[in-house]
Amino acid sequence: MLSALTDPAETMSSENENPSPQGPSRIRSAYNPMFSPQSPECRSANSLPKFYQNAYPASDYHQEHQYLSLVSTVIDHGTLRTDRTGTGTLSVFAPPPFRFSLSANTLPALTTKRVPLRIVFEELMFFIRGQTDATILSAKGVKIWDGNGSRAALDRLGLTERREGDLGPVYGFQWRHFGATYTDADQDYTGQGVDQLREVIRLIKENPMDRRIILSAWNPADMNIMALPPCHMFAQFYVSAAPTPDGKPLLSCQLYQRSCDLGLGVPFNITSYAMLTHLLAYVTDTTAHEFVHVMGDAHVYTDHVQPLNEQLMRDLTTSFPKIEIAGEHKEGSSVDECLKELEAFEWDAIKIVGYSPQGKIAMNMSV
């Protein structure tokens, strides 16, 4: 990122040392559809858009800029499209990927609005445990799947025989039982299908150079019986050699997301897969290193434009938080012991340090 570039502070005048925020225009005026912080043409301070040069001191470059700049780009330059929900979106296809450092226990969670971290964690554990009953989440105060599992939503999909709350073979089922025949959310699927999550753990531990450390939620055979086909659908994990002789190997994750709701979904997804990488690193004796987010249809729902404009006007004042995991992990644990440990995490074992975001921004969820 900017650490590899010439220091823009050398070209700044004194009046820019503590610049005042100017709202979304400061991002949009610098928009360049070809710009990427990693691109060859961005190797010196003078080639950076003014937003990157002058909005903040170089030492304070914040990786949240990637998200804010994409939101601004989509609002200003996206194509108006109809969508499944009937709401309408502004959309771009295949924007430059986001790259977030996870080093030093960093957890990328937006600071220009509050991301509900407990809810992110509970949904992630719902997936990790292979659960598909939305009432499990709802009982914990996590309501984000209630709409998709409602009687009206299921009936609209023709799933009239399915009880309310039964989401079908969604993310967790595919992660833990890929290829198994789904009947309902109350069935015990132990030993059925492919346990992809166990295989991810096994490969990280036993064959870390493997190029097939994959977690896929995309199963075309099951699409018609899912309450919602997977948006974040395909993750690949990558293990790098330890940076020092006495250090741990580095674990990175790249996610491909086909459908990217920039207002509500993407902030969740960034933090969720970063958190998953940290949890996997903890149980596999590795160190979380980087999260890369690759997007297909990146869109802003038309009824999210106003609240997102409000978010773009907020200043970046704090760094991403840190995540600390409390547990009794024993190095050298077996694959099954690591999997059991991963499944057993509860929110009280997770400590988030230094998260001081700005206030919540309400947005409607399109179902």
pLDDT digits 0-9 by tens, 133-183: 999 999 999 999 999 999 999 999 999 999 999 999 999 999 999 999 999
What are the C-alpha distances in Å from 358 to residues 10, 267, 313, 364?
A: 31, 14, 12, 19
- Are the CB atoms for 359 and 113 separated by under 8 Å? yes
User: Is 231 among the residues known to form the active site?
Assistant: yes
Average pLDDT, integer, range 283-310 = 98
CATH class of 91-301+312-353: alpha beta
Q: How far is CA 144 from the centre of its chain?
A: 15
- Strand-pairing partners, residue 89, are 81, 301
- Helices marked H in the chain — which ranges? 25-28, 50-54, 64-77, 117-128, 134-138, 151-156, 171-177, 196-206, 265-284, 305-312, 335-343
Whether the pLDDT of residue 206 is over 90: the answer is: yes
Residue 159 has phi, psi (to 5 degrees) of -95, 55
Tens digits of residue pLDDT in 179-204 = 999 999 999 999 999 999 999 999 99
Q: Which of 220, 213, 193 is nearest to 130 (CA)?
A: 193
Tokens coding 282 = 């903890």
Tokens coding 62 = 């914040």
Tokens coding 71 = 């939101």
Residue 51 burial (CB count, 10 A): 21
What percentage of the chain exceeds 70 in pLDDT? 84
- Are the CB atoms for 37 and 52 separated by under 8 Å? yes
- pLDDT of 327: 82
Q: What does the DSSP assignment read for 49-66?
A: -HHHHHSS-GGG--THHH
- All structural domains of the chain with their residue ranges: 91-301+312-353
Average pLDDT, integer, range 318-333 = 93
Q: Which of 141, 119, 228 is nearest to 109 (CA)?
A: 119
**Given the DSSP bridges, would you call strands 98-101 and 287-301 parallel, antiparallel or unpaired?**
antiparallel
Average pLDDT, integer, range 54-58 = 37
Q: Is 126 helix (H, G, I), strand (E, B) or coil?
A: helix
Torsion angle defined by CA atoms of residues 146, 291, 60 and 248, in that order, rounded to the nearest 10 degrees = 130
Which one of the listed residues 231, 253, 260, 338 is annotated catalytic?
231
Whether the pLDDT of residue 304 is over 90: the answer is: yes
- pLDDT of 48: 34
Tens digits of residue pLDDT in 107-132 = 999 999 999 999 999 999 999 999 99
pTM: 0.85
